[in-house]
Structure formats: structure tokens, C-alpha cells
Structure 1
Amino acid sequence: MRLAALALAGGAALAATAQTNPGLPATLAWSAYDVGSGGYNQAVAIGNALKQRYGVNLRVLPGKNDVSRTLPVREGQVQFSANGVGGSYLAQEGVFEFGAKTWGPQPIRGLLLNNSDQVLTVVAAKDSGIKTVADLKGKRVAWVIGAPSLNQNITAILAFANLTWNDVQRVDFGGFGAAMDGVINGQADAAFTSSISGKAYQLAKSPRGIVYPTIPHADKAGWARMNKTAPFFFPFMGAEGADLSKDNRVESATYPYPILMTYAKQDNDTVYAMTKAMVETYADYKDAAPGNVGWAVDRQNFAWVIPFHDGAIRYWKEKGLWKPEHQAHNDKLVQRQQVLADAWKAVNAGSHADDKAFAQAWMKARADALTKAGMDAVVTEW
């Protein structure tokens, strides 16, 4: 009996250890994409895992565009964001909507990147006759107001086929969900999305059906044009999502999504705890939403286009995964952010006739500062 009691006590102690909160507050808040998106669904699944494991409540705040997802992080209304390339990379760069006087380059920091088997690309209605990205010419393509990342992504994909927005019919929508609904309802023929989003599945099940315009990996010139506009894309054979599987892949393009990010000012211990919790609860949420497998430790990329937060770096170092080359890359990205911040400060110190004059001054100052520092400006006008 005594041995049995000791065994039970030992088991209880192990269970208690497994449930130990790594330092997260009782209530957490993330911003994420629209309700129904892949990113939102993943955040909800992660929230359930945090609740079950640690008793932590995760409040998910949906945002219809990049600005509405990043603003709550900047203002301290949420600690983190399951954001996209717009709310992370483009916010860091201070371009498009983030080039406005109220924004400018942001000190973005990453925790984890989701690299799943999905693709992030242009999808089209099957009845539109679109099979390759070149077939987008003359078709109705969704433009999402206030979402520079979605629009810039399409710009890059069009560039792959030597096309621009002037070669397609632009149809404006107020958000990601509205854009995909527009394709489903026949108001547009193509839009940018994740293959695992709820809207992608809705399109696939609709009378119009879904198709993924191919982006041939062997077309080196096309990829050079695409990466000049969007360096965060890479070739990928999509195997997860609406009408996709390991036996039915698509030759396409993708990048990490979502990106769990915050600001440099976020408390190191909280960031460390969030990173650790994401890893510790992975088994609990990996099958709970499409694409969650992408949060796995072995799928992390520590040399992407935004720097990692010091709190996250601390955890990755403990895991033995953060190498000197990662730190060197991170330092260069932090240096890039400093170059951008200095250029922004200089532009704001000047006087400008109106917002248009300010925008022109910032575009020039930004490109000049990065070029002087030996860095690629990537986006020079918007």
C-alpha cells in the first residue's frame, strides 16, 4: 500500500510538473486574421491547449487587415499577434499603409514561424478558366483595402508572369473574408489566400470550385521578378488545404503564415514563456486545426526577414537550436530596423506641404538610407 501510495504521489508530482505554467499571465491576448481564416482557427486551437494545460485564457482579437492586426500590439492591447507578412515584414519596412505619418517602420520581433504544408498564393474559381498565373491577364482580381501584404503578394505573383495590376481588372474589397466571398459569389475571379483557410474550403465546395494557378519552379526568370518584389516567398509543392493532399500537390509558392510576433518592447520573460508554451503544448494543438503542424520546432526558420525577440532567442538557445549564424543574421536585421528608424526620424523633423509630399520624402529617404547602408530597399514606391 505504501509503495502504491508513493507511486501515486510520484505520478501526481510528474503531472503537476507537466502542467506548470512557464510564466504566462492568467489572461493572454493575440490579434489574428478574420474569423474563418486559417490563422484565426489556429489561434483558437492554441488557446484551447493553453487553457487545458496551464489554465491560461487566450483572447483572440480578429483583424480584417494588417493595420488592424498590428495596432493592438503597438498600443499594448494585446501581447502578441498571429500576423502575416504585412503586419510583420511590411510593418518593419515602413511601407504602404505603414508608411503613413501615424506609422513608419516598426520594431517588430518574432517568436515562432509557421511553416506548414499549405501554400499562400493566388487562388481562382475553377470556372474562370485560370490554370497558370499567366492566365490572370484580363481577369477580375481582388484588391483588399488596407491590406498591403495581400496586394503586394499578388503584385509579386503577377510579376512572375510579367504582368501588373494594369493587366487585370482590379475589384476592391474591405477585408480578406469579403475578397474570398467575392470570388465565391462571382464578383471576382481570383484572390490571395491560404490554402487552409475556411474561405478556401468554402470556395472549393461552392459551385465555382477552386483552382491554384501554377507557379513553375523551373522558371528562374519568373522567380527573380517575383522575389525582387517579395523576398519572403519561396517555391513550394503545396500538399495541405482545400482540394490538396500529399497525393494531389500543386506547384506554387508560399511563406511562413502565421508569424507569431510582438514588439521589441515586450517583456523578455513573457516572450520567453509564450515561446516555451507554444513548444510544450504543440502535441495538444498540432492536429486541432489545419496547418498547425507548421509550428513544430523542426520547421522553424531562424534566418527569415524579421528579427527574433530576445526572449524567444533565450528559449531557442536553451533548446540548442540558436546558432552563431542565426545571431549574426538577427543582428543585421536589427541594424536594418535602426537604419529605418533613423531615416524616419529625419523625415519627421522636416516640414512637408501635405501628406503626399511627406510620403514622397519618406520613400526617397528610406531608399537612400538603406542603399547607403549597403542594404536592399526592396520596395521603393507605393
Structure 2
Amino acid sequence: MSLKTLTTGLTAASLIGFGAAQAEGLPDTMTWTAYDVGSQGHSEASAIADAFGRAYNTRVRIQPAGSAIGRLQPLLGGRADYAYLATESFFASEGTYDFAERRWGPQDLRAVAGRPSTFGVPTAADADIHNLEDLRGKRVAYVAGNPSVNVKCDAILAFGGLTSEDVEVVMFPTHGAAMGSLAQNRADAACTTTTASQLYELEESSRGIRWVDIPADDSSGWERMNQVAPVFQPFEETIGAGLSEESPANMLAYRYPIIVSMAERSDDEVYAFVKALDETYGLYKDATSAIHRWSIEDSGVPPIDIPFHPGAVRYMEDKGIWTDEMQAWNEARLDRLEMLKTAWDEVLAEGEGLDEDAFAARWEERRQAVLAEFR
């Protein structure tokens, strides 16, 4: 269903209990950043903004950006209240990739909520790849300059006890080119979400499609995966190319989009935001094929890329959803972030005279040492 259909199709019955009045604690105007127009993140942000407007008269301006820096800079500078992000929220909290430069480092970000999104390894069926070990020596498509995709691919290989050196990495200039490479017989496997248009083309091609199994009960594999990035969980997916209720696949779930705020944002405001997200769910849950996964029981709990905001935790506690195990996860994630921030300040002082490449190398060495101690 399109956003236009959602907007025009709402009836008076849909608004019972909302009253189109300002929600207590929710700002009457907000600015959000999101991925570019046409992306899943922008579409879902638009649907949620529409629901907030209809239910609470809240006016939301969505600022699209095609880069991680473009989405985060307004949030960090106070020009945006919330950002709809993906794995760049993890990179920003860790001080890696774009955020390893002196002007960045680990950022004090907090999760408000984040929808589970699936990610796996589609393969050409004729490549005879049935499990992760079968990827050894095969051509695996990576995307140049796209750490969000590549780090997940590295994590999946780690699950299977492999690294990128155990496969033939084929680097493509864009995500679309990497996904299209399977049907073109330029690669045997890729790493992506399940609904990329090129995968439907692969399914209909002479090569066919098969998803590599990532078993939910392989605890050692999940431990290896989460050492790469501690943000993944098992998920059985039925939506996407080559998938159905009758033919599901085990893969990983990560969070996209993640609604992100700065740590200092008011607890009461974030509480009101999550409450509004929950209470307007019925107004936006059919706007896209996967937006129903914003149900608060799924989107308001860990694991996720960054620590949850205290206001979000308080709402989940009031709903009776937040557990002691979730609290322990959140505290550990906060400890990890604080340790990295402390280490960053030390490296900034130590590396004052280093050039950018030497500084980045010094920081990554220190970051790995901190994480080894943390584990």
C-alpha cells in the first residue's frame, strides 16, 4: 500500500482514541533526517510522520540525505531532533570508517526504537552453495565504499568460520551492480536484504536463487558474528525473492531504520515519542511491506546498534516488555561506548602530531585493545 493510499484511506474510526490533539511531551514540530527519497527508510519515516500529524497535529520536516555524514551532521549539530539511520549509527558510536577522523570519534548516540530488517546471503542456485562453508573459494560480491553492507558480509563469513581471504572477493562500484552480478554470472554470492529488485531477476534467470542457511541454533557461530558487530540476531524470513511462508530462510536480523537521538535529549520527550510510535502503529502499519515490524514489542528491545535512551527504556518498562536481560544488555552497551570514548580522548592527546592515516591506525589499534578487554 502506498503512503498516499494510507493517507487517503484512513477513516474516522482509525482515529478513535487519538483525537488529533497534541500529545503530552511530544514537540509540536520536529525535524528528522532520513535516507534519500524513495528509500525504505524515507518511506517509513514519512508514514510515521503522517501518523503523528493525523493523531497529534505534530508537524514533521524530513530532511533526506544520501550519506551517513549527511544524516548525522544535523543531529549532532542540533538542527535535527531525530535521525532514521542504519548501521552508520554503530559506526558512529564506535568511531570507525567515516567516523575515525579526528573531528568525529565515538558519538554519544541513543536508540529510540529500531525495526528488525533481515539480511542474508543470496546465491546463484547453480553455484551449489548450501551452507556458509560452501562459500570457501567462491566469488562473493562486495560493494566499494559501502561499509554498512561489507561489515555484515564479514560478520556472516565469521559465523561460518571464514574471512574475506577464504573467498574470492569481487568488488563492484555500486550496490545495484553487486546484486546484478549474480544473474550475470560475475559472482556466485552476495550479501544483502531480501527484496532488492535484482534478486527477483536472479530468481527468474537460468541460474536461479538459493539463500544460504544461517542456523539460529549455532551459538558458536552467533558468538563469532557478534564479535564483528554485536547487533545481530536470528530471524526466519518469508518476504523476498525466492522466499515465502512455505519456503522461509534462516538469516540474520539487524535494525533499519533505527530512530536515533542524542543522549542528552529529554527523557520525557523520548518517552512521549516512543509512546506516540506505539499508539499510532495502526495508522502506519500497512504503509509498506515491512513497516508492520515497527510493533513496539519488536522495535523497542535489543539487540540494536547503540544503547537505548532512558526515556525509551522507561516506556518499555511501563509496557512490561523490558526484562532484566535487556537491561544487562543495555548497561553493557553503555559501558562499551564509555570505554571507547575514554580511549578516543587518550588517542587524541597522544596522536596530536600524527598525520591522518597514522592517527587512524593508532586509533584502530587502541579500539581493538579496548574491545578485547571488554569481551
TM-score by length of 1: 0.79
Maintained 8 Å contact 1:113/1:260: yes
Where does 1:1-382 land on structure 2 (aligned, <5 Å)?
15=16, 17-22=18-23, 23-32=26-35, 36-64=38-66, 66-84=68-86, 86-115=87-116, 119-126=118-125, 128-173=127-172, 175-177=174-176, 179-183=178-182, 188-196=187-195, 200-201=199-200, 204=203, 209-217=208-216, 219-300=218-299, 302-305=301-304, 306-323=306-323, 326-350=326-350, 351-371=352-372, 375-376=374-375
What is the Cα deviation at residue 344 of structure 1? 0.6
Alpha-carbon distance change, 130 to 73 in structure 1, aligned in 2, over 3 angstroms: farther
Q: Write the distance in 2 (CA, Å) between the matches of 1:76 and 1:106.
A: 14
Letter in 1 for 2:102: K
Q: Write the distance in 2 (CA, Å) between the matches of 1:201 and 1:37.
A: 18
What is the Cα deviation at residue 138 of structure 1? 4.0
Q: Deviations over 1:237-260 (max 9, x none)?
A: 222233322221112222333322
What is the Cα deviation at residue 180 of structure 1? 3.2
Letter in 2 for 1:43: A
Give the equivalent residue in structure 1 for 2:7: none
What is the Cα deviation at residue 198 of structure 1? 5.4
Q: CA RMSD in A?
A: 3.3
The percent identity for this pair of structures is: 37
Letter in 2 for 1:309: H
Q: Write the distance in 2 (CA, Å) between the matches of 1:208 and 1:63.
A: 36
Q: Write the distance in 1 (CA, Å) between the matches of 2:358 and 2:22.
A: 51
Give the equivalent residue in structure 1 for 2:6: none
Name stretches of at least 5 consecutive residues in structure 1 with no aligned partner.
Answer: 1-10, 377-382
Q: Write the distance in 2 (CA, Å) between the matches of 1:167 and 1:41.
A: 38
What is the Cα deviation at residue 155 of structure 1? 0.8
Maintained 8 Å contact 1:65/1:175: no
Letter in 1 for 2:140: V
Name stretches of at least 5 consecutive residues in structure 2 with no aligned partner.
Answer: 1-11
Q: Write the distance in 2 (CA, Å) between the matches of 1:221 and 1:369.
A: 22
Letter in 1 for 2:161: N
Alpha-carbon distance change, 315 to 48 in structure 1, aligned in 2, over 3 angstroms: same
Q: Write the distance in 2 (CA, Å) between the matches of 1:237 and 1:121.
A: 11
Q: Write the distance in 2 (CA, Å) between the matches of 1:76 and 1:294.
A: 29
Say which SS state the counterpart of residue 18 (structure 1) adopts: coil
Aligned length: 359
Letter in 2 for 1:234: Q
Alpha-carbon distance change, 147 to 244 in structure 1, aligned in 2, over 3 angstroms: same
Letter in 2 for 1:155: D
Q: Write the distance in 1 (CA, Å) between the matches of 2:207 and 2:72.
A: 34
Q: Write the distance in 1 (CA, Å) between the matches of 2:283 and 2:268.
A: 23
Maintained 8 Å contact 1:67/1:146: no
Maintained 8 Å contact 2:340/2:367: yes
Alpha-carbon distance change, 332 to 166 in structure 1, aligned in 2, over 3 angstroms: closer
Alpha-carbon distance change, 269 to 144 in structure 1, aligned in 2, over 3 angstroms: farther
